[in-house]
Amino acid sequence: MDPLAQFLPQVWFFILGLFLFLYVLLDGFDLGIGILSLTSSSEERRSILMTSLGNVWDANETWLVLMGGALFGAFPLAYGTVLNALYLPAVVMIVGLILRAVAFEFRENANRKLFWNWAFGVGSFLAALGQGFALGSIFEGIAVDAAGHFVGTMWDWLSWRSILVALTLIQGYVLIGSTYLIMKTTGSLQLVHFKTAKLAAWTTLIGAGFITISTPILSDHIRPTLFEPPLVFIFLGIPLLGIFLIGLLLQSLGKQEERMPFILTILIFMLSFVGLGLVIFPYIIPPSVTIYQAAAAPSSLVFMIIFIGFLIPIMLFYNIYNYVVFRGKVTLSGEAE
């Protein structure tokens, strides 16, 4: 294969992975906090939860839009086929994100907040659910013809296994949401989220354990990758490291540390993400279409690197600056008025 035609799709696979990872991490705690808000015991607590996201939620969500746009440009075939296959989960996710996004503004201006509280919580849950089913379909595989077009049915993404993957992702979001809130809140609210974080750490561990064990048994298309040296050692190492990190996390939660749980959760997410990336690579429509088959022309990939690639550090810079400006605990002074 032409080295350029091999290298460029790999670069874009990595860039898309980076966008997706940033999305999962950042909107992950957004969505997790949304789901947690369903259990808030008072209006004031819910206000603190939503205020903690006020200045970041739309920038966080933009990584998804960016991921979508970049996937469309870099791997047009995958964009069409995957979204075609995941029509219903995509619609559920979008409806969820819409409900959640408008809840921020409408709740702020509403006298009776109950409806918008539900819109925020349920919207977050639906968005995470849709994403979980999309993730599940990677393990299940997407049925395509020789040209890479979707040939399955509208319910292909639904199976008992994809339900468990979806539930695990939701647990993961609740975990990172809880650890983010531990960092941003104080007092009794913080204590509540030490508890939710502990619970979510256990449920995430169970879910991840299930996925790790079931994948080589049930996914025919992934099994060969897993047992092929030298990757087999990495795939043995990742679960062990994962268990170790969750152990550290539980210990840190026990000691009621404020920042460490969030950092450890990020590491756990990173580890799962690397594992997932290694399982999928070089496929972009598992189990049959590779990044090389689905990639746009090399000239397009170069053109996009010139325009988007150089912007990545700049985007990271001002997004980080945003977090620096609003560092510290959430206050309810209503700065936006």
Instruction: Indicate whether 90 belongs to the interface with another protein (CB under 8 A).
Output: yes
Only segment of 89-97, 178-186, 190-198, 221-229 that touches another protein (CB under 8 A): 89-97
| Residue listed under structure tokens 């890479």 | 148
Instruction: Indicate whether 7 belongs to the interface with another protein (CB under 8 A).
Output: no
Only segment of 186-194, 225-233, 254-262, 309-317 that touches another protein (CB under 8 A): 309-317
Q: Are 197 and 290 in contact (CB under 8 A)?
A: no
State which residue, 99 or 205, has the beta carbon closest to another protein: 99
Instruction: Indicate whether 98 belongs to the interface with another protein (CB under 8 A).
Output: yes
In the numeric block, which tokens belong to residue 152? 């399955």
Only segment of 101-109, 234-242, 253-261, 264-272 that touches another protein (CB under 8 A): 101-109
Binds another protein (CB under 8 A): choice among 39, 41, 256, 322: 322
Instruction: Indicate whether 25 belongs to the interface with another protein (CB under 8 A).
Output: no
Only segment of 58-66, 132-140, 182-190, 284-292 that touches another protein (CB under 8 A): 58-66
In the numeric block, which tokens belong to residue 81? 């086929």
Q: Which residue type is seen at 186?
A: T
Instruction: Indicate whether 308 belongs to the interface with another protein (CB under 8 A).
Output: yes
Binds another protein (CB under 8 A): choice among 17, 69, 216, 239: 69
Binds another protein (CB under 8 A): choice among 243, 267, 274, 315: 315
Binds another protein (CB under 8 A): choice among 11, 18, 59, 158: 59
Binds another protein (CB under 8 A): choice among 38, 95, 250, 274: 95
Instruction: Indicate whether 106 belongs to the interface with another protein (CB under 8 A).
Output: yes
Only segment of 166-174, 188-196, 216-224, 295-303 that touches another protein (CB under 8 A): 295-303
Instruction: Indicate whether 325 belongs to the interface with another protein (CB under 8 A).
Output: yes
Instruction: Indicate whether 109 belongs to the interface with another protein (CB under 8 A).
Output: yes
Binds another protein (CB under 8 A): choice among 8, 48, 50, 97: 97
State which residue, 188 or 333, has the beta carbon closest to another protein: 333
Q: Are 261 and 197 in contact (CB under 8 A)?
A: yes
HEC string of the chain equals CCHHHHHHHHHHHHHHHHHHHHHHHHHHHHHHHHHHHCCCCCHHHHHHHHHCCCCCHHHHHHHHHHHHHHHHHHCHHHHHHHHHHCHHHHHHHHHHHHHHHHHHHHHHHCCCCHHHHHHHHHHHHHHHHHHHHHHHHHHHCCCECCCCCECCCCCCCCCHHHHHHHHHHHHHHHHHHHHHHHHHCCHHHHHHHHHHHHHHHHHHHHHHHHHHHHHHHHCCCCHHHHCCCCHHHHHHHHHHHHHHHHHHHHHHHHCCCCCHHHHHHHHHHHHHHHHHHHHHCCEEECCCEEHHHHCCCHHHHHHHHHHHHCHHHHHHHHHHHHHHHCCCCCCCCCCCC
Binds another protein (CB under 8 A): choice among 24, 36, 82, 164: 82
**Residues numbered 232-251 forming contacts with another protein, rule: CB under 8 A:** none
Binds another protein (CB under 8 A): choice among 37, 81, 162, 252: 81
Residue 256 — left, alpha, or beta (φ > 0 → left; ψ -120 to 50 → alpha)? Answer: left
State which residue, 58 or 228, has the beta carbon closest to another protein: 58
Instruction: Indicate whether 43 belongs to the interface with another protein (CB under 8 A).
Output: no
